Structure 1
């Protein structure tokens, strides 16, 4: 899935706070979106879906942070909790998409995301055919849409930016491997 889809999930995770603790909802939403994008920074930091993807270990930080946020609510702990929760969900959900190959629509890779605790790769499930597929963008739109109506202007602007970036990426996704080969 696209980083924008993962960011949309982070926003959606924070949605219940608009009712339970409205003052904490914006920092939770922004942190959730950041946590949704964070694991994909390993595209430049090392082996993609291995270096910053921890489908098993992010939970060890997310659960205590969520408990702490419930017991002593504050924007700092809530932000940490939603960042880690969103990064954990991102890491797990990558197994439901395609593999790590440059042309995932060809289905040549058996590696979706690395499971550090077992020292092995999880296989792709292809529920979303590949990052940047039209259905991936549709998922981004559907997951971000509630946030565009419920949150204030700052969160809305960030969510809208993710919609634009996700749409642009979807339009060029299948051409990117050819461009990369020509440039490198």
Structure 2
């Protein structure tokens, strides 16, 4: 899935909490945005293995949420949002395709690495590849709660992300031809 889809998923999860506790809205949004993006910083390493923790990430999520509920502050709530969004990103990569640049030609059976079992989880391909039409549709749907709940710059970032998502989805299949050989 697109990075924006992961960000919007994180924001959708924290939106009800931000609505109920608006004093934490900015911390929740920043945590969810950064957490939704963070796992993909492993693009320069072994993508979907180095910073993706689909099962073991729960070992961070559960105590982070527990602390945020017990001792709510901008820091604890923001970190919990980060942990949840990062875990959700890693776990949801299994419902998509593999990490290859051209999944319509070179289909991998590796969606995301399971560090607990020491093996790759196979892709389910409910979302065929990042930027597929169904990925763009999911991104738009997941962005709605954030636009409705968050104010000002957060809504602007989300709407900008929706625009980027739609443009990316329109040109995704052509991008493979533009990528230098050394990046593949």
TM-score by length of 1: 0.93
| Corresponding position of 1:5 | 5
Unaligned residue ranges in structure 2 (runs of 5+):
none
State the 1:33 CA deviation. Answer: 1.7
**Which deviates further from its counterpart, 23-32 or 108-117?**
23-32
- SS of the residue corresponding to residue 114 of structure 1 reads strand
Instruction: Go from structure 1 to structure 2 and tell me whether the alpha carbon gap of 1:183 and 1:53 turns closer, same or farther (over 3 Å shift).
Output: closer
Match of 1:144 in 2: 143
Which region of structure 1 is more displaced relative to structure 2, 137-146 or 172-181? 172-181
Deviation at 1:183, TM superposition (A): 7.6
Is 1:27 aligned to residue 27 of structure 2? yes
Show structure 1 runs of 4+ deviating over 3 A: 181-184
1:69: Cα distance to partner? 0.6
1:63-116 per-residue CA deviation (whole Å, 9 max, x = no partner) reads 111011101111101010010111001101000000122111336210000111
> Distance between the aligned counterparts of 1:90 and 1:112, measured in 2?
12
Partner of 1:160: 159
Q: Cα–Cα, structure 1 residues 71 and 173, in superposed 2: closer, same or farther, change >3 Å?
A: same
Aligned partner of 1:174 in structure 2 is 173
Q: Is residue 98–residue 130 contact of structure 1 (8 Å, CA) maintained in 2?
A: yes
CA RMSD of aligned residues (A): 1.5
Please give the per-residue CA displacement for 1:28-55, whole angstroms capped at 9, x wherever unaligned. 02211210111111112x0111111111
List gaps (5 residues or longer) in structure 1. none
Q: TM-score normalized by structure 2?
A: 0.93
2:81 corresponds to 1:76: no
